[in-house]
Amino acid sequence: MLNQIILVGRLTRDISVHKGENGKVATLSLAIPRSFKNSEGSYDTDFIDCVAFDAVAENTSEYCGKGDVVGIKGRVQSKTIEKEDKKEYGLEIICEKVTFLSSKPKEEADE
């Protein structure tokens, strides 16, 4: 059996790392345009949230920012969230490797 996903897209925001229950955590949001046009003749974009942990989270937040293109290799994981006595189910992408495809050093990006 196999649970693997590869995504390439643009970061929609700068990444911040925070302390989670089991270490450092960062949430990344990728914008990925579809490869076909919709009925109006334009391309739709999918926005996909991904989660990175520890060294992957730190390195990505240090070297990448909003607008940079990254490649993500990871896995899909199910999650359950309890809200107001209801269980909501969803999927999240866990980043195992992030490849920096078009990032700039932070000093240049801040100028």
Domain range list for the chain: 5-36+43-101
Q: What is the pLDDT of residues 61-99, one digit of tens each?
A: 999 999 999 999 999 999 898 888 899 998 999 999 999
CATH classification code of 5-36+43-101: 2.40.50.140
| Under 8 Å between Cβ of 93 and 4 | no
pLDDT band at 22 (very low <50, low <70, confident <90, very high): confident
- What pLDDT was estimated at residue 105? 57
CA–CA separation, 64 and 17 (whole Å):
12
Q: What is the pLDDT of residues 31-57, one digit of tens each?
A: 999 999 999 999 999 999 999 999 999
CA distances from 44 to 34, 39, 49 (A): 6, 10, 17
- What pLDDT was estimated at residue 110? 53
CA–CA separation, 8 and 99 (whole Å):
9
- What pLDDT was estimated at residue 33? 94
First to last CA, the chain: 47
R_g (Cα) of the chain, nearest Å: 16
